[in-house]
Homo-oligomer: A and B are copies of this chain.
Amino acid sequence: MDKVLGIDIGGTSIKAGMFSTEGQLEAAAKIPTGEIVSEADFALVTEGLKKLLEDNGATVADVVGVGLDVPGPVDDEGKVGMLANIELDPDGLQAALKRTFSRANLAFVNDANAAALGELWQGTAKDASSFVLVAIGTGVGGGVVTDGKIVSGAFGAGGEIGHITVNREETASCGCGRQGCLEQYASASGIVRVYKQECKARGVEPVKLDGPTDTLSIFNACRAGDEAAQAAISTMCDYLGYALAQISVIMDPQMYLIGGGVAGGFKLFAEELRAAFRKYCLAPSVSTRILPASLGNDAAMYGSAFQAMQG
């Protein structure tokens, strides 16, 4: 039986899924890795994948596609750009995989784009022809799908929606070097930053936070009536709704999906976000849906497998 592997590459391990070509996740494994730059590193990956297959009644000969997502730019041609956060030699890994899985189509895809493709294949966006996934984690990533395909961009910057400028008056710099990016207000770190500012402005102590991206504690504080937490969430909703309205006048998707870690608080902020979008959008797009993503941390693994089947 034909199988497809979807591989989510992280800094300290890879997460690999074995899928049927219909999109059923049949087995998954976490393979500890460090940097992936030498033949020995590549062998660790290929041996781990072989074991995943063999443990689950399949072989390398069954594999028709291997998709890998990376935390960095991949252009429209599938070429991997500069990877700032992981040590990976994509060409070397690709060659090693090609030797092991001779039948398989190989494909790299950006991680946020992979998550969007996963939602398209087996998640909330199944059967949608166009949508944008907003992946809210430490930063804000995005995956833009039109006509059933991901928009990677000519320079790999497609879906970099965390860098939509939402506040031209901002003086603090974003990680990208520009000012006023969506990510500065609507990412986990952005929400924490704004929350602390709101506490300071009110002369109150912030609730105890478990690190610089602990939005869970802020969401809980909001539920308990913390005004600074409410203000930070309102800021997030306002800027995010504004940014989505900008996307709609450009590509006018059928729906927006909110994914990533912060999506755990979706119910708390959904109505405020939808109201902000309606306030800022152009009239024809007013009924665009804003929904939670459904595949959670597995979305990128699904989407990588899906991408490998696109030939």
Using CB atoms and an 8 Å cutoff, list the residues of chain A in contact with chain B. 73, 76, 81, 129-130, 142, 144, 146-147, 149, 151-161, 163-165, 167-168, 176-178, 242, 245-255, 280, 282-285, 287-288
Query: Which residues of chain B come closer than 8 Å to A247, judged between CB atoms?
Result: 250
Query: Would you call B81 and A284 a contact (CB within 8 A)?
Result: yes
Query: Would you call A165 and B287 a contact (CB within 8 A)?
Result: no
Which of these, B153, B163, B282, contacts A178 with CB under 8 Å?
Answer: B282
Query: Would you call B284 and A156 a contact (CB within 8 A)?
Result: yes
Query: Which residues of chain B come closer than 8 Å to A251, judged between CB atoms?
Result: 144, 151, 153, 158, 250-251
Query: Would you call A147 and B149 a contact (CB within 8 A)?
Result: yes
| Distance in Å: Cβ of A129 to nearest Cβ of chain B | 6
Which of these, B144, B159, B245, B253, contacts A154 with CB under 8 Å?
Answer: B253
Query: Would you call A159 and B250 a contact (CB within 8 A)?
Result: yes
Query: Would you call B76 and A249 a contact (CB within 8 A)?
Result: no
Q: Beyond the given A155-B284, A168-B168, could you list 4 further A-B residue pairs with CB under 8 A, ordered by the A residue number? A: A146-B146, A154-B253, A156-B252, A157-B285
Query: Would you call A154 and B73 a contact (CB within 8 A)?
Result: no
Return 29 A-B CB contacts under 8 Å, by A number.
A81-B284, A129-B154, A130-B151, A144-B250, A146-B146, A146-B147, A147-B149, A151-B250, A151-B251, A153-B248, A153-B253, A153-B285, A154-B252, A154-B253, A154-B288, A157-B249, A157-B282, A158-B250, A158-B252, A160-B250, A160-B252, A163-B249, A164-B249, A164-B250, A165-B246, A168-B168, A178-B280, A250-B251, A251-B251
| Distance in Å: Cβ of A250 to nearest Cβ of chain B | 6
Q: A249 and B284 in contact (CB under 8 A), knowing A76-B129, A129-B76, A151-B146?
A: no
Query: Would you call B168 and A284 a contact (CB within 8 A)?
Result: no
Distance A250 CA – B159 CA, assembled complex (angstroms): 5
| Distance in Å: Cβ of A71 to nearest Cβ of chain B | 15
Which of these, B146, B155, B254, B283, contacts A176 with CB under 8 Å?
Answer: B283
